[in-house]
Structure 1
Amino acid sequence: MKRYKNGLLASIILIIAANLVPTKISAQDLSGNISISGAFALYPITVKWAEEFKKTHPKVKIDIQAGGAGKGITDVLSKVTDIGLVSRDLNNAELKKKAYAIAVTKDAVIPTISTTSPYKAVLYKRGIKKEALNNIFITGKYKTWNTLGFKSTAAIHVYTRSDAAGAAETWAQYFGKKQEDLQGVAVFGDPGLAEAVKRDPTGIGFNNIVYIYDTKTNKPTNGLVPIPIDLNNNGKLDPAENFYNDIDQLIAAIVAGKYPSPPARDLYFVTNGKPNNPVVKAFIKYILTDGQKYVTEAGYIKLPNEKLKKELEKVK
């Protein structure tokens, strides 16, 4: 009888153990490949998410390629990749082709100049008006720095993006225009545009936050500094407008709505129709839950909890 009870107890323990193990095994046993391409804006944080995800899912392989939002959309709609990284809202044509967008984080496009710019100190005292930016990037009326009130006839060297870019589209939207309306020398990619402006003391461009600030020091890096925008057009940079000294100040201003949207905007993972691949779904669910703890430290803005829940419903 004692032997029977011991055997029965052992059986019960085995059953309980068997029911407890699957959750742990399922994470380890999740396997497959995920291919991703698209926006430079999302590339750094997506790499971080992939690294962390693979620590608990070592059998999942994730290939990530930056190439601009346009490439991300083209690749995912043609089923070349599983996920497209897109740094702008989808248009009607893309939605009709079953592009399915899931917001994963937020950032902003910021106007930039080189740290060697002779106009930097004055711009940080008075900022730059939206109208002036429009006349530089859209109408082309402002071609020399004296049109901005400087005692210099040096040409304003304007730089924009050559690739179909969410950053360029969003920057153009700030002026009610499209990317093709932007003036300037076209340069490929966020890193390329940052490098072009960095090397040119009389240049002006725009970049996503993560290509301007060092997320370790929270200060502008890469030889670039943001150009503060004179939001109330009073010809000076008021304390409430001066939030560019470090990334935490800028993020707080974006969250509070002080920095305009556009050029602040949501960033998206886009799939071809609602995702049904278990591996892709697991990765996106991770990003919208545990993966959010890496967002702020990587230089991005976390979406509100209610919005994260809403986006998570799109994957369930």
Structure 2
Amino acid sequence: MKTKIILGFSLLILCCCSNPLPTKTPTTAPHHQGKIRITGAYALYPLVQQWIADYQKVNPNVEFDLQAIGSGNGLDEILNKKTDIAMISSQVPENVDTLLWISPVARLAVVPIISKKNPYLQTILKNGIKKDELVGLFTNQNPHTWGDIYGKPTKDPVKVYVRSDKSGATDVLAKYLWVESNEVVGVGIEGENKMIEAVKANPLALGYCNLVYTYDLANKQFFNDFCILPIDLNQNGIIDKREDFYNDFAELQRAMFLGKYPCVLNRNLYVATLGKPKTQEMVDFLKWVLTRGQGIVPKLGYIELRNSEIKYNLYYLLN
């Protein structure tokens, strides 16, 4: 898939040098029958929900049915013709990507999370956690206690929670840890919200979620009862100044945009249709997502696409 995207992008650059991108959508597509059904990744749900709300302000006759069911389940539904648009938060298998029209629409990071009631909280925030320790904890290869990790005599076990549904967040975490998704083990939790509730309820918990679920948009603050576990990127046992960007959401978001946070954990989020979008309403909505809709992206805690990516995907939507 990566090879095709790179080759396609190179061809697009050549095309764009001599031909301007189209400015209007085709008018021959049939009209959509019923609601546009969108299902899939929890990671994209808050953003798509806001996109729909804003889009319907100027297109009130277009109706949607939006459901978060997990990235893998969304992919299954689009392949089985049970949904119109799938929200995807992990790499699409090569054996099916040729069947789909796929476009990135935003970026979002996966973050490890702990309870703010953790008895080692201040030490954890000061020292962070090394990648090697995360590997041991999430694969149960080296099940440390919190005391083991931070040089304390206490033997409080780390209670690891993982997503039990087909989660793109798990796939991304596994890729960062250099393991397979099925090697990420712990107490299974279905869905993003239940994961967060489990972590909040257990002072010794370790879990993970998508960044936007750590932040209260109304108050522009992180939530009070759980927090992001800082990653000790250079593994020197302390969160250095260059790694210290977890206290402010805007600062963390900028660090992710600049690549200071692990790039593997900060992945593209996609929408996909079975073949190119076939109805006028779907084409118009996806065009709006790739243009005016991008203005909403950073306001909700995501990272917007680059202009070159927008032009590339818009071109292949409209041609």
Q: TM-score, normalised by structure 1?
A: 0.88
Cα deviation 1:21-72 (Å, max 9, x = unaligned): xx9xx9xxx8752101000000001000001111111111011000100111
Pick one of 78, 81, 102 that aligns with 1:79: 81
Aligned to 1:42: 44
How many correspondences in the alignment? 288
CA distance in 1, matches of 2:58, 2:32: 11
Are the equivalent residues in 2 in contact too, given 1:102–1:314 (CA < 8 A)? no
Aligned to 2:180: 178
| Superposed displacement of residue 146, structure 1 | 2.1
CA distance in 1, matches of 2:155, 2:208: 22
Aligned to 2:248: 246
Which shifted more, 136-145 or 288-297? 136-145
- Are residue 131 (structure 1) and residue 100 (structure 2) matched? no
Question: In the alignment, residue 284 of structure 2 is paired with which amino acid?
Answer: A
Q: Identify unmatched segments of 5+ residues in structure 2.
A: 1-23
CA distance in 2, matches of 1:82, 1:253: 35
| Aligned residue runs from structure 1 range 19-58, under 5 A | 33-58=35-60
CA distance in 2, matches of 1:291, 1:222: 30
Cα deviation 1:171-208 (Å, max 9, x = unaligned): 11101222211011010011111111010000000010
| Superposed displacement of residue 140, structure 1 | 3.2
Aligned to 1:309: 311
| Superposed displacement of residue 226, structure 1 | 0.2
| Superposed displacement of residue 222, structure 1 | 6.1
CA distance in 2, matches of 1:140, 1:220: 32
Cα deviation 1:68-112 (Å, max 9, x = unaligned): 00111011111111001111121112214x122110000000000
| Aligned residue runs from structure 1 range 166-245, under 5 A | 166-221=168-223, 223-245=225-247
3-state SS of 2:263 partner: coil
Which shifted more, 263-272 or 32-41? 32-41
Cα deviation 1:219-250 (Å, max 9, x = unaligned): 22162200000001111101111111122111
Q: TM-score, normalised by structure 2?
A: 0.87
3-state SS of 2:209 partner: strand
Aligned to 2:20: none
Q: Identify unmatched segments of 5+ residues in structure 1.
A: 1-22
Cα deviation 1:248-272 (Å, max 9, x = unaligned): 1111011100111211100000111
Flag the structure with more relative contact order, 1 or 2, with Cα contacts below 8 A and sequence separation at least 6: 2
CA distance in 2, matches of 1:140, 1:189: 25
CA distance in 2, matches of 1:115, 1:48: 29
How large is the RMSD of aligned CA atoms in angstroms? 1.6
Cα deviation 1:108-130 (Å, max 9, x = unaligned): 00000011111211111111110
Identity of matched residues, %:
36
Are the equivalent residues in 1 in contact too, given 2:110–2:266 (CA < 8 A)? yes
When Rg is computed on C-alpha atoms for both structures, the one with the higher figure is 1
Are the equivalent residues in 1 in contact too, given 2:32–2:282 (CA < 8 A)? no
